[in-house]
């Protein structure tokens, strides 16, 4: 059945499938139609409901566009259901045609009217009222602004209050007063001055034998009325109070089994619903007080309460993450719009702390936000992230934070979401500024420690050796991490008595006294030491070397290169480390470990492995990432940075994705690791690796619109190349920084870097690098309005690429020359150069360059009035961009195609091209969307509400 929901977020749904109607303005239009389901609503009335008494210019145009999208959504949903919802136009306005029972606010009123029929018995009346109240999913018209929406909200909430009071009275007559206390208390918190609510709650408390609470409810209401209104309670409330005091307010009915009044569980919004929580740990034990404190947050997280934040702090290894993840899994059903998780690595021994921009970008990716919609700056990205969370119920787990500043850009800004932060530091400033609830996690008690061991070991072993268990518990210092590692060792060797393990632990502790600073975090080394000692030599060596790796996790393939062994020989050590809980396989063939374990592994590497061996291992893993990235880079198209590294170390086995999709997937999985590799290479003196890794990452950063990472990695590359006196590396870095600055809209800064790159390339005689720099200078010059200068630079680039024998980039440079001739109005010259480009690009694999060339040809033909030729060029360009999944340029080309058809007086084809383009721009939520809607209305003289936009795959 198709349902239209207004008593909460505005939604259209068929069964369990919910359609996200779109931005708040469009949801207001839908609500403005739905309140008058079956009746026409005039355009002026709709404009007033959506924009108020002083609508902006263009309000009608926006209204028509919103109606178009709503009609399209209704048609699609109704096609899958027998009960249709249709939006039609009549002479007196627009009509939302549906059964009024399909709209929750109308269904609510119908149920209330039936319940008020005197002939209905109390049992049925309670059921009708309970069903009506169950339709409420939070604040009605949630997230919508404006006087009309606020007026509707207040009116409907008054109806909710009245219905709840009636339901409570009926339940009391049925002997089920206790079931009403919770709903009445919650509603009284929202409407603290409504006396009938307080009276109903007092009666329910009295009927449940809770007279003291009933009297306290009266006292609180009396104080609020006096403080805020300067009045005393009314006669009905005073009489109830006196009757309770005298003991002559009789229960409404004898107690019996309550009839529940169930609000239905929240339903998820349509669209991408992230579920990023790590796997919950098996055998979680204890932490009752902490779990109860976190459970209490749920009540305060209900809208319209402000966003709720809890900061969980405690020492390393105490189980903060385990607690947070365990609780998050327990309550995830209350957050149907998704659960986000990020390990911020605030205390990572490798120093690879997650930048807030990286975390925000990861969350935007989790919601499948198109790259073209993501702005470059952190502030703008954080604003977009908070907008996505508006009207959603999302749980955000921010694990292992260093400080409040790292956390703040990741916090939601609207009610309904809950942020759970873990940190070794007590984040008091989050409490002071953002109102976070602070929760400290201490070590496990002896009883909880024994319970954890008993859960993971045979109960008989625990009861048979109480003294050994007591010593193990004492020496593990209540740290869950130490107990888990020990339990894994004991489970793997069931024939060894626990007393033997306790003896080993005692001896290990004495040998490591120098490392014991007297706190629980350092005593855990004793557990690690004998667990490490039980490993095979291959697993011991791999464990030590993993301490040298700076990334947040590592693939099995990279671990093989790190160890200098074939991939088949690393599987057994990885499995052994995983079995002993010294490593976690958190994703298939991807491994991570607790930062205490990583720090311990790094200590072992420094004491047991020589400087040369450690440096060779680092060299191998950096080679692994460099050569794997270069292979993936080549699959994305002819690179602008043809890096020629020194041969890889002989024990390195780089990864080799099979195709373009595999290359993008590899880059996406490894991106945080690659950024950490750039930092590690810079810290440890592998300067050539720094700028070459930055160059290898460039195509991925361009395609994923990671402009800041593009510039940042090359800034690190520039510093490294300067340290090494490497002019080729400096030139590459300057040119890429210039390209990134140009993309970010800073042409003056871009020109400075590009001119430095040009001088360096000329000094070292790099013809190809010089040509690339001239090509970039041509784009920047045109960007600055210096088209003639841009043409000269592009022509220099053509000559340079021709001399270097690079056909693909020569073709791209010819297209740039063609484009600059278009800017100068020399369209025939533009066509000549573009045709030369197409002849060259052929089978070079540069699909994007070929598509851009067809676009330039289309523009030139259009300006010459050759509309048939222009349309054919645009169609080819759009097909190529569609093939490589570049939705922005596909939408842009289709808009050009519509312009050409319109100029040729082919209105039907113009309308088709523009609506295809509009569908894509709306999918991207791109700023060009409104202009294109206006073009449809203005040029074709259409009411856009009569146009149903086509579906796009």
CATH assignment of the domain containing 33? 1.10.10.10
CATH number of the domain encompassing residue 205: 1.25.40.10
Cβ atoms of 792 and 825 closer than 8 Å: no
Please, is 727 exposed, middle or buried when counting C-beta atoms within 10 Å of its C-beta (0-12, 13-18, 19+)? middle
pLDDT digits (tens, 9 = 90+) for 207-235: 887 877 888 888 888 888 787 777 778 87
Q: How far apart are CA 352 and CA 880, in angstroms?
A: 39
Q: Taking the chain, what is the end-to-end CA distance rounded to the nearest angstrom? A: 26
- Tokens representing 330 are 């327990």
Q: Give the model's pLDDT for residue 907.
A: 86
Cβ atoms of 810 and 801 closer than 8 Å: yes
Q: Give the residue from 942, 945, 947, 771 showing the smallest Cα distance to 95.
A: 945
Strand-pair partners of 398: 342, 421
pLDDT digits (tens, 9 = 90+) for 301-337: 555 544 567 777 665 667 788 888 988 888 888 888 8
Using DSSP's 3-state secondary structure scheme, residue 438 falls into strand
Cβ atoms of 195 and 188 closer than 8 Å: no
- Tokens representing 82 are 């027998």
Higher-pLDDT residue of 677 and 55 is: 677
Question: Of 173-182, 768-777, 938-947, which gets the smallest average pLDDT?
Answer: 938-947
Note whether 94 and 70 are same-domain residues: yes
Strand-pair partners of 601: none
C-alpha torsion sign, points 437, 442, 448, 453: positive
Q: Which long-range contacts (CB under 8 A, 24 or more apart) does 235-243 make?
A: 236/195, 236/196, 236/199, 237/195, 237/198, 237/199, 237/202, 240/199, 240/202, 240/203, 241/202, 241/215
Please, is 376 exposed, middle or buried when counting C-beta atoms within 10 Å of its C-beta (0-12, 13-18, 19+)? middle
Does a structural domain hold residue 615?
A: no
pLDDT digits (tens, 9 = 90+) for 670-689: 999 999 999 999 999 999 99
Q: Give the model's pLDDT for residue 943.
A: 43
- Phi, psi dihedrals of residue 340, rounded to the nearest 5°: -105, 145
Note whether 554 and 493 are same-domain residues: no
Q: How far apart are CA 767 and CA 799, in angstroms?
A: 10
Question: Of 258-262, 322-326, 478-482, 842-846, which gets the smallest average pLDDT?
Answer: 258-262
C-alpha torsion sign, points 883, 884, 887, 893: negative
Give the mean model confidence (pLDDT) for residues 724-728: 94
Question: Of 51-65, 161-175, 388-402, 558-572, which gets the smallest average pLDDT?
Answer: 51-65
Does a structural domain hold residue 315?
A: yes
Note whether 501 and 553 are same-domain residues: no
Question: Of 131-140, 776-785, 940-949, which gets the smallest average pLDDT?
Answer: 940-949
Question: Of 210-214, 265-269, 643-647, 920-924, which gets the smallest average pLDDT?
Answer: 265-269
**Number of domains the chain is built from:** 6
Give the mean model confidence (pLDDT) for residues 538-555: 94
The boundaries of the domain holding residue 580 are: 537-609
Q: Give the model's pLDDT for residue 76.
A: 67
Higher-pLDDT residue of 177 and 913 is: 913
Note whether 312 and 208 are same-domain residues: no
Neighbour-count burial for 571-596, b at 16+ CB within 10 Å, e otherwise: eebbebbeebbbbbbeeeebbbbbbb
Q: 488 pLDDT exceeds 90?
A: no
Does a structural domain hold residue 202?
A: yes
Q: How far apart are CA 634 and CA 6, in angstroms?
A: 52
Strand-pair partners of 456: none
Q: 298 pLDDT exceeds 50?
A: yes
For residue 864, give Cα distances in angstroms to 583, 828, 852, 857, 876.
66, 8, 19, 11, 19
Does a structural domain hold residue 749?
A: no
Cβ atoms of 311 and 402 closer than 8 Å: no
Note whether 562 and 521 are same-domain residues: no
279 CB contacts (<8 Å, ≥6 apart)? 586
Q: How far apart are CA 98 and CA 34, in angstroms?
A: 9
- Tokens representing 298 are 């749920």
Length of the chain: 953
Q: 23 pLDDT exceeds 50?
A: yes
Question: Of 118-127, 248-257, 587-596, which gets the smallest average pLDDT?
Answer: 248-257
Interhelix angle 807-823/787-804, rounded to 10 degrees, is 160
Does a structural domain hold residue 664?
A: no
Does a structural domain hold residue 758?
A: no
Q: Give the model's pLDDT for residue 713.
A: 94
How distant is the alpha carbon of residue 136 from its chain centre? Answer: 28
Higher-pLDDT residue of 42 and 886 is: 42
Does a structural domain hold residue 614?
A: no
Using DSSP's 3-state secondary structure scheme, residue 765 falls into coil
For residue 144, give Cα distances in angstroms to 31, 74, 271.
10, 20, 20
- Tokens representing 902 are 């319109």
- Phi, psi dihedrals of residue 443, rounded to the nearest 5°: -65, 160
- Tokens representing 734 are 């300057």
- Domain boundary residue, one of 493, 508, 533: 533
Q: 523 pLDDT exceeds 60?
A: no
Edge-to-edge strands of the sheet including 418-423? 339-343, 395-401, 418-423, 308-313, 437-440
Using DSSP's 3-state secondary structure scheme, residue 89 falls into strand
Q: Give the residue from 684, 593, 615 showing the smallest Cα distance to 676.
A: 684
Name, of 322-331, 413-422, 721-730, the range with top average pLDDT: 721-730
Q: 270 pLDDT exceeds 90?
A: no
Cβ atoms of 760 and 727 closer than 8 Å: yes
Q: How far apart are CA 252 and CA 84, in angstroms?
A: 45
Q: Give the model's pLDDT for residue 517.
A: 33
* Residue 257 binned pLDDT confidence (cut-offs 50, 70, 90): very low
Note whether 411 and 302 are same-domain residues: yes
Helix (H) or strand (E) holding 790, with range, is: helix 787-804
Strand-pair partners of 313: 423, 440
> CB-hemisphere CA count at 13 Å for 50?
29
For residue 197, give Cα distances in angstroms to 84, 165, 266, 914.
39, 6, 25, 56
CATH number of the domain encompassing residue 306: 3.40.50.300
Note whether 80 and 192 are same-domain residues: no
Q: 115 pLDDT exceeds 50?
A: yes
Q: Give the residue from 108, 89, 87, 107 showing the smallest Cα distance to 98.
A: 87
Cβ atoms of 439 and 312 closer than 8 Å: yes
Q: 70 pLDDT exceeds 50?
A: yes
Edge-to-edge strands of the sheet including 584-587? 554-555, 590-592, 584-587
Q: Give the model's pLDDT for residue 689.
A: 96
How distant is the alpha carbon of residue 238 from its chain centre? Answer: 52
Q: Give the model's pLDDT for residue 287.
A: 79
Q: Give the model's pLDDT for residue 703.
A: 78
In the block, tokens 């020589």 appear at 610
Mean residue pLDDT across the chain: 82
Q: Give the model's pLDDT for residue 373.
A: 67
Note whether 460 and 420 are same-domain residues: no
Q: How far apart are CA 336 and CA 273, in angstroms?
A: 8
Q: Give the residue from 925, 902, 914, 929 showing the smallest Cα distance to 878.
A: 914
Note whether 369 and 460 are same-domain residues: no
What is the SS3 string spanning 95-125? EEECCHHHEHHHHHHHHHHHHCCCCCCHHHH
Q: Give the model's pLDDT for residue 180.
A: 86
Neighbour-count burial for 807-837, b at 16+ CB within 10 Å, e otherwise: bbbbbbbbbbbbbbbbeeebbebbbbbbebb
Using DSSP's 3-state secondary structure scheme, residue 370 falls into coil
Note whether 355 and 434 are same-domain residues: yes
Percentage with pLDDT > 70 across the chain: 87
Q: 797 pLDDT exceeds 90?
A: yes
Cβ atoms of 688 and 729 closer than 8 Å: yes
Cβ atoms of 258 and 178 closer than 8 Å: yes
- Domain boundary residue, one of 102, 123, 138: 102
Q: 479 pLDDT exceeds 80?
A: no
Q: How far apart are CA 397 and CA 411, in angstroms?
A: 10
Q: How far apart are CA 164 and CA 133, in angstroms?
A: 7
* Residue 511 binned pLDDT confidence (cut-offs 50, 70, 90): very low
Q: Give the model's pLDDT for residue 953.
A: 30
Q: For 8-135, where are the E strands, in sequence order?
A: 11-14, 17-19, 86-90, 93-97
* Residue 613 binned pLDDT confidence (cut-offs 50, 70, 90): very high
Q: How far apart are CA 833 and CA 638, in angstroms?
A: 21
Cβ atoms of 691 and 717 closer than 8 Å: yes
Strand-pair partners of 557: none
Higher-pLDDT residue of 474 and 589 is: 589
Name, of 49-53, 83-87, 269-273, 546-550, the range with top average pLDDT: 546-550
Note whether 862 and 925 are same-domain residues: yes
Q: Give the residue from 128, 140, 134, 192 showing the smallest Cα distance to 166.
A: 128
Note whether 541 and 525 are same-domain residues: no
- Tokens representing 597 are 């374990």
Does a structural domain hold residue 762?
A: no
- Tokens representing 770 are 């010089």
Higher-pLDDT residue of 452 and 624 is: 624
- Domain boundary residue, one of 440, 467, 495: 440
Give the mean model confidence (pLDDT) for residues 33-38: 84
460 CB contacts (<8 Å, ≥6 apart)? none
* Residue 54 binned pLDDT confidence (cut-offs 50, 70, 90): confident
């Amino acid at each position: 059945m198709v349902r239209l929901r207004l008593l909460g977020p505005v939604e259209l749904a068929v069964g369990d499938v919910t359609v996200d109607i779109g931005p708040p303005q469009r949801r207001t239009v839908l609500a403005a139609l739905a309140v008058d389901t079956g009746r026409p609503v005039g355009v002026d009335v709709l404009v007033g409901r959506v924009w108020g008494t002083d609508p902006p210019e263009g309000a009608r145009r926006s209204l028509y566009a919103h109606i178009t999208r709503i009609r399209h959504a209704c048609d699609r949903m109704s096609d899958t259901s027998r009960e249709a919802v249709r939006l039609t136009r009549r002479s007196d306005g627009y009509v939302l045609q549906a059964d009024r029972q399909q709209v929750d606010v109308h269904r609510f009123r119908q149920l209330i009217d039936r319940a008020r029929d005197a002939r209905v018995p109390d049992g049925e009346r309670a059921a009708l009222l309970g069903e009506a109240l169950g339709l409420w999913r939070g604040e009605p018209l949630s997230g919508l602004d404006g006087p009309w929406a606020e007026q509707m909200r207040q009116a409907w909430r008054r109806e909710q209050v009245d219905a709840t009071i009636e339901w409570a009275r009926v339940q009391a007559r049925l002997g089920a007063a206790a079931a009403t206390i919770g709903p009445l208390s919650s509603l009284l918190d929202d409407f603290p001055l409504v006396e009938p609510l307080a009276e109903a709650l007092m009666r329910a408390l009295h009927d449940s034998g809770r007279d003291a609470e009933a009297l306290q409810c009266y006292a609180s209401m009396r104080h609020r009325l006096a403080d805020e209104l300067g009045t005393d309670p009314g006669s009905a409330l005073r009489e109830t109070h006196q009757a309770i005091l005298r003991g002559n307010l009789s229960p409404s009915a004898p107690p019996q089994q309550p009839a529940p009044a169930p609000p239905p569980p929240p339903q998820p919004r349509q669209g991408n619903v992230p579920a990023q929580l790590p796997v919950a740990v098996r055998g979680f034990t204890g932490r009752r007080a902490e779990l109860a404190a976190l459970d209490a947050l749920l009540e305060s997280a209900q809208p319209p309460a402000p966003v709720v934040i809890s900061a969980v702090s405690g020492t390393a290894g105490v189980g903060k993450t385990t607690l947070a993840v365990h609780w998050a899994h327990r309550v995830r059903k209350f957050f149907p719009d998704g659960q986000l998780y990020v390990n911020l690595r605030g205390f990572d021994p490798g120093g690879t702390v997650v930048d807030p921009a990286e975390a925000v970008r990861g969350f935007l990716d989790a919601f499948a936000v198109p790259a073209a919609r993501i702005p470059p700056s952190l502030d703008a990205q954080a604003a977009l992230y908070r907008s996505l969370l508006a009207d959603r119920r999302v749980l955000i787990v921010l694990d292992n934070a260093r400080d409040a500043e790292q956390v703040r850009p990741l916090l939601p800004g609207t009610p309904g979401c809950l942020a759970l932060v873990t940190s070794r530091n007590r984040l008091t400033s989050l409490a002071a500024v953002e109102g976070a609830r602070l929760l400290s996690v201490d070590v496990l008690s002896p009883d909880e420690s024994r319970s954890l061991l008993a859960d993971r070991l045979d109960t008989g072993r625990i009861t048979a050796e109480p003294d050994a268990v007591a010593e193990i518990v004492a020496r593990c210092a209540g740290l869950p991490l130490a107990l888990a590692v020990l339990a894994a060792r004991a489970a793997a060797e069931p024939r060894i008595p626990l007393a033997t393990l306790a003896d080993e632990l005692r001896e290990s502790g004495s040998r490591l006294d120098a490392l014991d600073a007297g706190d629980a975090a350092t005593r855990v080394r004793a557990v690690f030491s004998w667990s490490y000692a039980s490993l095979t030599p291959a697993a011991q060596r791999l464990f030590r070397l993993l301490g040298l790796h700076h990334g947040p996790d590592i693939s099995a393939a990279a671990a093989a290169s790190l160890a200098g062994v074939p991939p088949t020989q690393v599987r057994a050590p990885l499995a052994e480390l995983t079995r002993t809980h010294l490593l976690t396989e958190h994703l298939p063939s991807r491994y991570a470990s607790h930062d205490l374990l990583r720090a311990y592994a790094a200590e072992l590497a420094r004491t047991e492995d020589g400087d040369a061996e450690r440096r060779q291992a680092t060299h191998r893993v950096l080679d692994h990432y460099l050569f794997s990235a270069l292979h993936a880079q080549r699959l994305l198209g002819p690179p602008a940075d043809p890096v020629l590294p020194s041969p890889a170390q002989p024990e390195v086995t780089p990864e080799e994705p099979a195709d373009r999709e595999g290359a993008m997937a590899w880059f996406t999985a490894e991106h945080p690791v690659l950024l950490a590799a750039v930092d590690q290479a810079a810290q440890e003196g592998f300067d050539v690796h720094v700028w070459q890794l930055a160059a290898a990452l460039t195509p991925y950063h361009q395609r994923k619109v990671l402009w800041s990472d593009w510039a940042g990695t090359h800034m690190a590359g520039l510093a490294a190349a300067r340290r090494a006196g490497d002019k080729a590396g400096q030139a590459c870095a300057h040119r890429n920084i210039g390209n990134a600055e140009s993309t970010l809209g800073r042409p003056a800064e871009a020109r400075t870097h590009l001119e430095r790159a040009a001088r360096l390339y000329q000094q070292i005689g790099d013809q190809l690098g010089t040509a690339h720099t001239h090509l970039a200078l041509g784009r920047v010059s045109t960007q600055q309005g210096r088209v003639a200068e841009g043409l000269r630079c592009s022509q220099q680039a053509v000559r340079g690429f021709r001399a270097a024998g690079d056909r693909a980039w020569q073709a791209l440079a010819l297209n740039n020359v063609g484009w600059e001739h278009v800017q100068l109005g020399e369209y025939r010259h533009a066509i000549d150069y573009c045709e030369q480009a197409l002849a060259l690009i052929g089978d070079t694999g540069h699909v994007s360059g070929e598509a851009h060339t067809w676009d330039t040809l289309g523009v030139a033909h259009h300006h010459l009035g050759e509309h048939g030729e222009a349309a054919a060029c645009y169609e080819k360009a759009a097909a190529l961009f569609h093939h490589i999944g570049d939705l922005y340029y596909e939408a842009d080309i289709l808009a050009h195609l519509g312009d050409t058809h319109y100029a040729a007086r082919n209105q039907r084809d113009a309308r088709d091209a523009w609506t295809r383009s509009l569908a894509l721009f709306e999918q991207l939520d791109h700023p060009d969307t409104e202009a294109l809607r206006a073009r449809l209305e203005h040029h074709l003289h259409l009411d856009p509400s009569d146009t149903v936009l086509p579906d796009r795959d």
